[in-house]
Amino acid sequence: MAAVVIDGNAIAEQLRQSIADELQVLRLSEVRPGLATVLIGESFDAQAYEKHVKRLAESLDYRYVCERLPEDIELADVIATLGKLNADPRITGILVLHPLPPHIPEAEMNSAVDPRKDIEAVHPMNAGLLAQGRARFLPSTPASCFYLLDHYADAHGGGHESFYSGRTMVVIGRSNSVGKPAQMLGLQRNATVIACHSRTKPLDAYTSQADILIVAAGVRGIVDGSMVKEGVVAVDVGIHAVKDEETGKTRMVGDLDFESVAARAAAITPVPGGVGPITDVWLVGNALMAAAIAHQVEPRFGLFR
């Protein structure tokens, strides 16, 4: 089977243009999104992502600010920084970058962000609304998985309205930011969802049932072609840097063993160029939605709901 390799870059550009178009309309109501990131410590990955988000936000003429905090900062000072951003009407979306230092508890960070500015939907209130199917915001990575799947379904699967119904969806991953929300979004689309994770044994007993497979375990190559059935639609959320010992060059790979899974799949997402580009754009789209909510303006379409 020759798998369709789903082009996340092209889909992300379409989404970015939709946001730009929506901005033109919202500006008539004097709505301007403002995005703040909070960077604690010197993580290379977090700093690289912050620069990427800044470029994307500024390309859309968002207000943008990054609060850079030292690695050894006290929790109370981080909470105070978040309180300042919560109170700033120019900031409509707040993103706390990961990884966090070990002494900073993630749960307290999640609870400290104003739910109306919590664009990754990690605050307990927003997580609860998502679980009930009444989401204020859809977290960027799982939302991007389904946005990408919707595009594939509309082009190859008979339309996204019926694509998920009754199909078996296996989600590998149980994080609050990706795995759990993806499970709930699958259920809301009438898929039969099987929740797995890196300690599920035997994992292939479940992955082999998947019509749709979303892998967000953070484990390189956790699924290979022997573990999936013919015709699976596979979405890879993982990203890992691998250095070629002979050339010294670094390349990015995912949680799937791409070549062997692609040999059996109907469709698959690449790494890089799959879910990642859409996630970045979805994030700034949520900041747009937050700005509209703050100004009590309804966007023309419910793209981000």
| CATH number for the domain harbouring residue 182 | 3.40.50.720
C-alpha neighbours within 13 Å on the C-beta side of residue 52: 14
132 domain residue, yes or no: no
Do 151 and 227 sit in the same domain of this protein?
yes
- Co-location of 161 and 248 in the same domain: yes
CATH code of 66's domain: 3.40.50.10860
Residue 190 is predicted with a pLDDT of 96
What tokens were used for 237?
């959320």
CA distances from 233 to 156, 256, 269 (A): 11, 12, 9
Tell me which long-range contacts 126-130 makes (C-beta under 8 A, separation of at least 24).
127/176, 127/181, 130/181, 130/184
244 and 185 in a common domain: yes
- 81 & 108 share domain: yes
Burial class (CB in 10 A: 0-12, 13-18, 19+), 246: exposed
One domain, residues 171 and 270: yes
In a domain, 129, yes or no: no
Looking at the structure, do residues 105 and 156 belong to the same domain, yes or no? no
Q: Per-residue pLDDT tens for 74-121? A: 999 999 999 999 999 999 999 999 999 999 999 999 999 999 999 999
Say yes or no: 115 and 158 in one domain.
no
Tell me if 17 is assigned to some domain. no
d(CA 180, CA 173): 7
Please give the tally of structural domains in the chain. Answer: 2
Positive or negative torsion for Cα 280, 281, 282, 284 = positive
Work out whether strand 250-253 and strand 240-243 pair parallel, antiparallel, or are unpaired: antiparallel
Tell whether 68 is covered by a domain: yes
Residue 145 pLDDT > 60, yes or no? yes
Which range marks the domain in which residue 175 is found?
A: 139-277
Whole-angstrom Cα distance, residue 127 to residue 87?
22
Q: Per residue in 17-62, pLDDT tens? A: 999 998 988 888 888 999 999 999 999 889 999 999 999 999 999 9
Q: Is residue 248 part of a domain?
A: yes
| 21 inside domain | no
The pLDDT value recorded for residue 304 is 46
